[in-house]
Amino acid sequence: MKRRTLLLSAAASAAAVAAPATAIAQSPARPIRLIVPYAAGGPIDVTARLLAERVKDSLGTVIIENRPGGGGNIGADAVAKAAPDGLTIGIAAVATHAINPWLFAKMPYDAAKDFAPITQMLRVPNVLVMNAETAARLNIHSLKDLIAYAKANPARLNYGSGGNGSAGHLAGEMFKRNAGIFAVHIPYNGGNPAQLALLSGQVDFNFDNLATAAPNIKSGKLKALAVTTLGRSPALPDIPPVSDLFKGFAIDTWWGLVAPAATPREVIARLNQAFVAALNTPEAKTRFAALMAEPVPTTPEQFGTFMKAELAKYENVVKASGARVD
């Protein structure tokens, strides 16, 4: 009888240890914390809040926690070091998981090892834009015209970006290298100051986020010459991609969901199912379209493969740019 009692007690203890992961996989007792490594109000934060509302029925309450700073590294590190119980997930973005590991001299986390991918969420094209008056004055109407002008007028062009190592900076360096041209890079303290410099004619062209540039493109203040997606963007179907001239050229702004590395597979599967369903709803797609964002739901494996490829791609891009944060 005593042995039977001991066995039952051991079984109960084992079940108690296993219960948290199983309970979370079925229905979390506590709210899920979704860490956004950027300030509130930006496109990443807006889309995270939208999806948090859409998964309430399947996952329960999802609370958004903004942890900006360090180019996104502070928030990403909080996800990496959280308990792998499915109650803390976070945003992985092109900066935090592809650019920063090569840009920063010291990283608080390992982008390749410290996270379990859940699903990619969205991507937003970047677009090569010129001040419309400058483009007309220089007789530049296409990407080929821009390259021809740069070659005929060495060192006459400059371009702005939101800072050293930003997507705009790296896209500019990739473009210069592929086109065999030279243009002076002028970094600004953020994307908005860089766009203001372009609108005022202080710089000649920028690689800007389409969500930010679209209103000025529509108003005629900016002229779009090319998008940085591999194919044409549904948001700007008449504008050709840079890849039409330079095969494989692609720099998109993307983000997705990750959890701490040791999060159980069944928990990741349930999170993936809920968020993929939310990404595919017509209401969400309509809201994303207003932000110039394209939903790209994936399996965890697909998102993991994608992030590894992006990490490898940006190693060469960042090193070639010479950008560094010590």
Reported as a single tens digit per residue, the pLDDT across 109-155 is 999 999 999 999 999 889 999 999 999 999 999 999 999 999 999 88
Residue 101: both structure tokens together: 């590991």
pTM of the entire structure?
Answer: 0.84
CATH of domain 32-124+252-321: 3.40.190.150
- Has residue 31 got a pLDDT over 80? yes
CB atoms within 10 A of CB 206: 31
Distance CA 253, CA 238 (A): 20
| Minimum mean pLDDT range among 25-34, 194-203, 315-324 | 25-34
Distance CA 323, CA 321 (A): 5
Contacts of 277 (CB under 8 A, 6+ apart): 54, 55, 58
Confidence class of residue 189 from pLDDT cuts 50, 70 and 90?
confident
Average pLDDT over residues 3-8: 42
Q: Does domain 125-244 have CATH number 3.40.190.10?
A: yes
CATH 3.40.190.10 residue ranges of the chain are 125-244
CB atoms within 10 A of CB 103: 22
CB atoms within 10 A of CB 39: 12
CATH 3.40.190.150 residue ranges of the chain are 32-124+252-321
Distance CA 108, CA 101 (A): 10
